[in-house]
Structure 1
Amino acid sequence: MTELHQAAAAGDFDQVEEILRQNKCDPNQRDIDWSHKTPLHWAAAKGHTETVRILIEHGARPCLRTEHGWTPAHLAAESGRLAVLRLLHSLHAPMDKEDCCGDKPVRIAEIYGHHDCVRFLKKAEAECQAYRKMAAQKGISMDDTDEEWEEQGKENEENRISKCNIQM
Structure 2
Amino acid sequence: MNRRRHKKLSRRLVDAALVGDIGRVRAALRAGAPAGTTDTAGTTPLYLASVSGAADLVRVLLAAGAPPDTESGTGSEGTPLCGAACWGHTEAVRALLAHGADPNLREDHGTGWAPLDWASKGPHPETVELLVAAGARPGR
Q: TM-score, normalised by structure 2?
A: 0.79
Alpha-carbon separation, structure 2, partners of 1:21 and 1:30: 17
CA apart distance, 1:72: 0.5
Secondary structure of residue in 1 paired with 2:123:
coil
Is 1:95 paired with 2:103? yes
Q: Is 1:121 paired with 2:131?
A: yes
In 1, are the aligned partners of 2:104 and 2:114 still within 8 Å (CA)?
yes
Answer yes or no: is 1:12 the counterpart of 2:34. no
Q: Which residue of 1 aligns with 2:7?
A: none
| Contact map agreement 2:116 2:132 (CA 8 A) in 1 | yes
> Match for 1:81: what amino acid?
H
What amino acid maps onto 2:122 in structure 1? Answer: Y
Are 1:65 and 2:67 an aligned pair?
Answer: no
Deviation at 1:110, TM superposition (A): 1.3
TM-score (normalised: structure 1): 0.67
CA-to-aligned-CA distance 1:63-93 (integer Å, 9 cap, x gap): 1002347211001011110001111111222
Q: State the 1:31 CA deviation.
A: 2.4
Give secondary structure in 2 for the equivalent of 1:2: helix
- Residues 139-160 of structure 1: CA deviation (Å, up to 9, x unaligned): xxxxxxxxxxxxxxxxxxxxxx
Percent identity of the aligned residues? 29
- What is the distance in 1 between the residues matched to 2:116 and 2:86? 9
State the Cα distance separating 1:104 from its structure 2 match. Answer: 0.5
* 2:6 aligned residue: none
SS, match of residue 43 in structure 1: helix
Match of 1:110 among 98, 108, 120: 120
Say what the alpha-carbon RMSD is for the aligned residues.
1.8
Alignment-mate amino acid for residue 28 of structure 1:
G
CA distance in structure 1 between the aligned counterparts of 2:101 and 2:134, rounded to whole angstroms: 10
Give the partner amino acid of 1:110: S
Q: Deviating runs (4+, > 6 A) in structure 1? A: none
Query: Greater helix share, 1 or 2?
Result: 1
SS at match of 1:62: coil
Displacement of 1:4 in angstroms is: 0.8
When the two structures are aligned, how many residues end up with a matched partner? 123
Greater Cα radius of gyration, structure 1 or 2: 1
Q: Which residue of 2 aligns with 1:53?
A: 59
